[in-house]
Amino acid sequence: MKNKNQSSKELFERANKVLTGGVSRNTIYREPHPNYVETAKGSYITDIDGQTRVDFANNMASLIHGHSNQEIINAVTKQLNKGTAYTMGSIAEVKFAELLTSRNNNYEKIRFMNSGTEAVMTMIKASRAFNGKTKIAKAEGTYHGTYDYAEISQISNPKNWGPIENPNSNPVVSGTPNNILNDVIIFPFNDTKRTIDILEKNKSDITCVLLDLVPHRVGLMPIEAEYLTAIYNWTRNNNSLLVFDEVVTYRANYSGAQQNFSIVPDLTAMGKIIGGGFPIGALAGKSEVMEVLNPRKQPLKHPHSGTFSANPISTTAGYVAMKLFDKKSVEKLNLITGKAIKQIEEAIAIADIPACITGMGSMFRIHLKESKPTTFRETYQNKKTLDTIKHLLDYLYNEKNIIMINTLSCMFATTIGQKEIDLLSEGLLDGFKKIKPLIE
């Protein structure tokens, strides 16, 4: 039902008077204005203009059970009456820590933060505190949140990315200090020889190698097992830590994407779905490394805190969300995602356009090219391709009432069924036909 008191256009005019650019996060901005939510339930969002859309973005991969899950609502409502934040511990924090560590044997100890960005930041700082080194190494193009060191080179392009044998460390934010650029070593994802050569040249300084096992910005393609093993062996031989960013990829399997590989990381950062729809981050890993955060240890190498860390609302919601996302639910969701991919591949064939799909578990990305990319530079899209993708996304959003992530990606929730899959694949088929002249 349309909100009689205001429209999205009118609300955006109000927002522009008090919010920079009219928004608090640039990802929701769209021309001529963003739409504002009236209500959301399951996989459907209705805006204040009365339009209902199917949501395949799920707040940038953070909602594993869709919107307004009743069991989460009930648990959070009960906790709200007990309080929302204390300068004390809570039972919810302990219960949730027990649950997450039980899901993954690699998690010997755990700490909670407020976001995935904070989890990655703490992971990097804990690595430095543990082995005394200062530089980090990360793959070109990977997104690891907004910490200065973690965000370097996530938007590199042909004009500034430099030679593949020695990729440049490029800033995202204007004014990033040069010393930060110097302390971040960039290597090409899924390129074993070049990566090891780069690491070897910096072996005395690298505190940790930061990896996303299925990096969204790089192309949402899984890391190659041989490549991962080579990096793991290098870290074992050079007093460096191997740390995983599973903020997005934890949804890929019951124990995260790392369940699909034999390598055990030293630390893992998590976020998004483990909050049950509320802000959260977590760092888990080997007890020996996590001890740098222990206030009972002297000297205390990393005095970690945070006013809202492990707040009982997020940990309560997260506990329920992860209890519901059991092995059976994970398997069912991954199977239905696979079915959606198959139907979309059929739509690609019918539309006769150059396109392919990469992904893992309940997440996938469509590329407007014949062959699946395996590296960031293969994934890179020029302006013409980006304009074509925007045209397709706008068509889906405005004409087919379908919401996808702006990389032409989907992050499924357990509320997705065959009806929603059909809407998505049929909408994409029509969209592919619309953009075919642009591709040709």
**Are both 333 and 317 inside the same structural domain?**
no
**Are both 170 and 302 inside the same structural domain?**
yes
**Percent of the chain clearing pLDDT 70 (strictly above):** 99
Residue 375, domain member (yes or no):
yes
pLDDT band at 3 (very low <50, low <70, confident <90, very high): low
192 versus 1: which is more confidently predicted?
192
**Are both 153 and 298 inside the same structural domain?**
yes
**Are both 311 and 365 inside the same structural domain?**
no
Residue 336 has pLDDT above 70, yes or no: yes
Q: How far apart are the first and last CA of the chain?
A: 41
| 116-146 confidence digits (pLDDT tens) | 999 999 999 999 999 999 999 999 999 999 9
pLDDT number for residue 82: 97
Count the domains in the chain.
Answer: 2
- Domain containing residue 17: 8-64+326-439
**Are both 164 and 303 inside the same structural domain?**
yes
> Cα-Cα-Cα-Cα dihedral of 361, 42, 74, 98, to 10°?
10
pLDDT number for residue 440: 79
Residue 113, φ and ψ in degrees, nearest 5: -130, -160
pLDDT number for residue 1: 57
The residue among 302, 324, 346 that closes a domain is 324
Distance, in Å, from the CA atom of 170 to the CA atom of 340, rounded to the nearest integer, reads 36
Q: Give the Å distances, CA to CA, from 357 to 137, 149, 373.
A: 28, 30, 9
Distance, in Å, from the CA atom of 194 to the CA atom of 230, rounded to the nearest integer, reads 11
This prediction's pTM:
0.96
The residue among 283, 309, 324 that closes a domain is 324
Q: Residues 6 or more apart from 25 whose CB is under 8 A from it?
A: none
Residue 2, domain member (yes or no):
no
Distance, in Å, from the CA atom of 183 to the CA atom of 128, rounded to the nearest integer, reads 12
Per residue, what are the HEC states of 405-426?
ECCCEEECCCCCCHHHHHHHHH
**Are both 405 and 316 inside the same structural domain?**
no
Q: Give the Å distances, CA to CA, from 239 to 65, 126, 171, 231, 301.
A: 40, 14, 27, 12, 18
| 391-424 confidence digits (pLDDT tens) | 999 999 999 999 999 999 999 999 999 999 999 9
> 321 near 274, Cβ under 8 Å?
yes
**Are both 96 and 204 inside the same structural domain?**
yes
CATH number of 153's domain: 3.40.640.10
**Are both 54 and 83 inside the same structural domain?**
no
The residue among 279, 300, 324 that closes a domain is 324
| 23-35 confidence digits (pLDDT tens) | 999 988 988 999 9
Letter for the amino acid at 365?
R
**Are both 237 and 338 inside the same structural domain?**
no
**Are both 354 and 299 inside the same structural domain?**
no
Residue 102, domain member (yes or no):
yes
> Cα-Cα-Cα-Cα dihedral of 202, 204, 207, 208, to 10°?
50
Taking residues 99-110, what's their average pLDDT?
98
Residue 107, domain member (yes or no):
yes
Crossing angle (nearest 10°) for helices 312-324 and 91-103: 30
CATH number of 414's domain: 3.90.1150.10
pLDDT number for residue 6: 84
Angle at Cα 16 formed by Cα 15 and Cα 20, nearest 5°? 105
pLDDT number for residue 4: 64
**Are both 259 and 140 inside the same structural domain?**
yes
| 213-232 confidence digits (pLDDT tens) | 999 999 999 999 999 999 99
Residue 1, domain member (yes or no):
no
Rg value, the chain, Cα: 22
Distance, in Å, from the CA atom of 413 to the CA atom of 142, rounded to the nearest integer, reads 24
Residue 3, domain member (yes or no):
no
